[in-house]
Amino acid sequence: MNAPRPDALAPTTRSALVPRSGRQLAILVLFAAIAAYLVLRTWGTQPQIMADEWYYSKLSRLQDLGASMLPSYLYLWIARGSNACGTRFYDCVHVANVLFMVASAPFIYGIARQVARPGVALALAVAATLAPLNLYTTYFMPETAYFLGFCILSWVALTRGHWHWTRWSLALGVVLGLLSLVKVHALFLIPPLVLFIAYARWAAGPRWLPSAVGAAALALGVAAALKFGIGWLLAGKDGLQLLGSFYQANANSAGNRSLASLLGPALVSARGHLMVLAVLVPLPLAVTLHSLLRLRGHAQAGKAELLQVWALLVLGATVCVTFLFTATLVNPGAPADEGLRLHMRYYNFVLPLLWLVAAATLDRPDAPAPAARPALRWAIAAVVAALLVLALAWLPAYAFNAVDGPDIFMFKPDGWRGRTIIALGLATLLLWALGKRLAARLFLLVVLPLNLLAGLSMSHKITLHNHIETTADRAGALVRARVPAAERGQLTVAGTDAVEIIRTQFHIDDANSQLMLVPDNAPIAEYEVPTHQKWLLVLRHHPLPATYKPVFANEEFSLYRLALPERRIGATDFSKPLAGIVTGAEGLSKEESFGRWSEGPRVVLHLATALPPRVRLRIRASSYADNADKPFTLRIGGASATFRVPNHPMKEILLTMDTDGAQRSIVIEVPHPVSPKEVDHTDDTRLLGIALGGIVVAEPLPESSP
C-alpha cells in the first residue's frame, strides 16, 4: 500500500493546533461570549418559519418518530430532549442550535490550519460563527446541526487523509451516515465524496485505484448501515425509508415532469445562483475554477488543492440540486415568484470553505509564473466579473428571503451596499488576474468583514422583530389557558391565513389539532362547522351560525365549545385498503399517503350497512385544479347536498342529511374532472377532481341536531 505524501495529507503538528494556556483561555472566552450573544438574541422569540418549525416541533416532540414524514430521525431524537424544558422548549431548541453553531468552529479552524497561519485560521473560525448562517439558530430547524455535521465531514476529509485508507473511509462513512439522519440532503454529498476520495487517493501516489474503489465502497457501505440501522432503532420499519414519505412524494412528482418543462426554470435559477456566488465569493470562485482548469500532476496536489477540489465538488453538486429542485416547483399552480426564489440554504453551509480557499493564497499565491498560461487567469476573472456586472441588472428581479438565503438578503445588488460589494469584488478579481497577493487581503480584510457586519446587523434586526407577539401567539396562549390539555387535540383552528393558523398550532402544541381555511371575512357555513371536534378557534372575523355561542371572543379571535354528541356508525381511511363502513368503491384511484383521488365524473361509495333516516357525514377532502372554485354534489338516494373544498390542505366538511333509511351507497359528483397532464404537463392522464382522505358516518342524537 502506498503511503500518502506528507505535503498533501499530513496533519499539522500538535503544537500548531493546541495554543498555550493563556491563549486557549482567551479563545474559550471569545467563543463563550459569541455563544452568549446568540442565545440572548434568540431567547424569548416567537416562531416564524411556518410550516417548517411546526412540523419539526410536532414530529420530534409530539408523536412517535416512526410517524415522521421526514427521515431526519437523529435530529428529531435530539430535539425531543427539549421536552425536558416544559413550556420553554422553544428556547431550549435555540440553545442547542447555538451549541451546534459554535461547536463547528474547532473543525473549521483545523481545516484552515492546513493552509493558513494560526491567527488567520482562528479569525475564519470566528467569522463562520458570526456569518449570516447563524440566523438559523433562531428557528426550530436542523440547519445548524447539519452545518456542524458538514464541518466534521470536511475536517475528516481534508485533515485525516494521512490515516490508512480503511480508517479514513470508515470515519467518512460514519459522519455521512449520521449526517443523513439530520437532513436527507446529505445524500446529495455522495457524488462529491466519491469523487474526492478518488482524487485524494490519486494525490497519494501511484497505484491508487484499488484503494480509491475500496475506500469509496467502504464509506458508502458504512453510511448506509448507519442510516438504516439507526433509523430502524429510532423509528422501527419506517426508519428503513430512504427519503421519507414527504420527499418521496416530491421526487415522484418531479419524476412526472418532462425534461423540457424543467429546462427553462432551471436555467433561470442557475443564473441567479451563479450571480449570487459571484457577489459573495468572487475571489474563491475564480481561484477554484483556475485550479480545476490547470493541469496538475501528483507533485502539485497539495493541501490547498485538496481544499479547492472538495469545495468545488460539494458546491457544484449542491448548487445543481438547488436549481433543479427550484425548477420542479415552477408549475401553473405555483406563485409567480417561486422559480425566482434563491434557496441558498441548500448550499450556503459550503461558503466558509470558500473563504479558506482565499486564505490559502495569502502565503502561497495561486498565481503561477508569468509565462504559465496567464490568459487562463484573465479569462476566468473576466467570466466571474461578467457575472458581477450582470448581478447589478438581473439579480434584483429575484425573490430575496432571509430564510432561503440570509447571506444575500442583507443587501440589494442595486442599492449602495450591493454596488460597493460588487465594486470591491471586481477589484479583487483584477488584482488576482495580475497575480497580486493583495487580492486575498482585500477579500479577507475588507469584503468578507463588510458582508459579516451587514449580516450581523440584518440578523440582529430580524431577531428583535421576532420577539413581537402577533394574533397567532395570543390565540395560542388563550387556548393553552382555556382548553384542558387532554382536549387540545380535539380543536380546530379556522382562519384565512394558513401561516397564521399553523403559528397558532405551534403554541397550542398538540399534534392532533386541525387546520381549517376560510375565505377572507367569509362566514363559516353550517356544513363547515367541525362539530366532530370539541373546540373551534376562529381567527379574525368569520361568524358562525347564530346557534353557536363563543366562550371567549374579542376583535382578534373567538373560541367555541362544540358539544354535539352523535352515535358513530363507522369510518374508513382511504389511504389504506377499503375497510370499515366503505366496503367498495367506483371512480376511485389507488390508495396514496393522503388517501385516494377520484378518477372520472363521479365517485360511488358502497357501504357495509344501510344509512339511518338521519345521517351525519364527516368527510376529509381536498380538490384538484379549478375544482376548488366549483361545488361538488353529494347524493344519497333522492337527497342531495353541495359543498366546496380547497386544493390544499385537506378540509373536513360536515353534512347532515335525511334519507329513506334503506340507502347503502353515497355518490359524489365531480364538477370538472381534469388530468395532471393537461394542468401540470406531467405524464399522469387520470381525470382527477376530489381527493378523499377519510369518511366518518354517524347518527346525530336528537338533542344534538342543529
φ and ψ at 602, to 5 degrees?
A: -155, 160
Residue type, 267: L
Whether residue 147 has pLDDT greater than 70: yes
Q: Please tell me the predicted confidence (pLDDT) of residue 414.
A: 67
Among 420, 454, 488, which residue terminates a domain? 454
With vertex at residue 116, the alpha carbon angle to CA 111 and CA 117, rounded to the nearest 5 degrees, is 115
Whether residue 187 has pLDDT greater than 60: yes
CB 194 within 8 A of CB 393: no
For 608-689, strand residue ranges (E) read: 614-623, 632-636, 639-643, 651-658, 665-669
> Percentage of the chain with pLDDT > 70?
91
pLDDT digits (tens, 9 = 90+) for 338-376: 778 888 989 999 999 999 999 998 865 444 444 346 888
Residue type, 503: R
Q: Is 398 left (phi over 0), alpha (psi -120 to 50) or beta?
A: beta
Residue 459 falls within a domain, yes or no? no
Whether residue 705 has pLDDT greater than 70: no
Which CA distances in Å does 37 have to 33, 34, 97, 353, 447? 6, 5, 13, 24, 24
Among 208, 233, 256, which residue terminates a domain? 256
Q: Are residues 611 and 684 in the same domain?
A: yes
pLDDT bin (cut points 50, 70, 90) of residue 623 is very high
φ and ψ at 522, to 5 degrees?
A: -85, 145
Residue 196 falls within a domain, yes or no? yes
Residue 2 falls within a domain, yes or no? no
Q: Are residues 595 and 649 in the same domain?
A: yes
d(CA 323, CA 309): 21
Q: Please tell me the predicted confidence (pLDDT) of residue 195.
A: 96
Residue 511 falls within a domain, yes or no? yes
Residue 303 falls within a domain, yes or no? yes
Whether residue 312 has pLDDT greater than 60: yes
Q: Are residues 135 and 89 in the same domain?
A: yes
Enumerate residues 6+ apart whose C-beta is below 8 A from 426. 282, 385, 388, 389
d(CA 152, CA 134): 17
Residue 649: CATH number of its domain? 2.60.120.260
Whether residue 17 has pLDDT greater than 70: no
Q: Are residues 423 and 517 in the same domain?
A: no
Q: Are residues 177 and 285 in the same domain?
A: no
Tell me which DSSP letter residue 16 carries. Answer: H
d(CA 666, CA 535): 28
Mean pLDDT across 160-176: 95
Q: Which helix (H) or strand (E) holds 552?
A: strand 550-553
Q: Please tell me the predicted confidence (pLDDT) of residue 179.
A: 97
Q: Are residues 66 and 91 in the same domain?
A: yes
Residue 465 falls within a domain, yes or no? no
pLDDT digits (tens, 9 = 90+) for 421-466: 899 999 999 999 998 889 999 999 999 999 888 888 888 999 999 9
Q: Are residues 479 and 590 in the same domain?
A: no
pLDDT digits (tens, 9 = 90+) for 220-258: 999 999 999 999 999 999 889 888 877 777 777 666 667
pLDDT bin (cut points 50, 70, 90) of residue 537 is very high
> Which region among 14-23, 203-212, 345-354 has the lowest average model confidence (pLDDT)?
14-23
Q: Are residues 281 and 379 in the same domain?
A: yes
Q: Are residues 290 and 416 in the same domain?
A: yes
Q: Which three cell numbers stand for residue 417?
A: 451596499
Q: Are residues 92 and 153 in the same domain?
A: yes
Per the model's pLDDT, the better-predicted residue between 324 and 295 turns out to be 324
Q: Please tell me the predicted confidence (pLDDT) of residue 566.
A: 75
Mean pLDDT across 189-209: 91
pLDDT digits (tens, 9 = 90+) for 252-309: 766 666 777 778 888 888 999 999 999 999 999 999 998 888 766 555 668 888 999 9
Mean pLDDT across 626-647: 94
Q: Are residues 240 and 313 in the same domain?
A: no
Sign of the alpha-carbon torsion through 340, 346, 348, 354: negative
> What angle separates helix 105-112 from helix 89-103, to the nearest 10 degrees?
10
Q: How many domains does the chain have?
A: 4
Neighbours of 142 (CB within 10 A): 26
Residue 345 falls within a domain, yes or no? yes
> Which region among 184-198, 386-400, 606-620 has the lowest average model confidence (pLDDT)?
386-400
State the chain's mean pLDDT as an integer. Answer: 88
Q: Please tell me the predicted confidence (pLDDT) of residue 650.
A: 86
Domain, as residue range, for 476 = 471-561
Q: Are residues 553 and 667 in the same domain?
A: no
The DSSP secondary structure of 136-170, one letter per residue, reads GGGSSSSHHHHHHHHHHHHHHHHH-TTS-HHHHHH
Among 561, 589, 614, which residue terminates a domain? 561
d(CA 366, CA 289): 11
> Percentage of the chain with pLDDT > 90?
65
d(CA 384, CA 281): 10
Residue 3 falls within a domain, yes or no? no
Mean pLDDT across 32-59: 95
Q: Please tell me the predicted confidence (pLDDT) of residue 387.
A: 95
Question: SS3 letters for 238-268?
Answer: HHHCCCHHHHHHHHHHHHCECHHHHHHHHHH
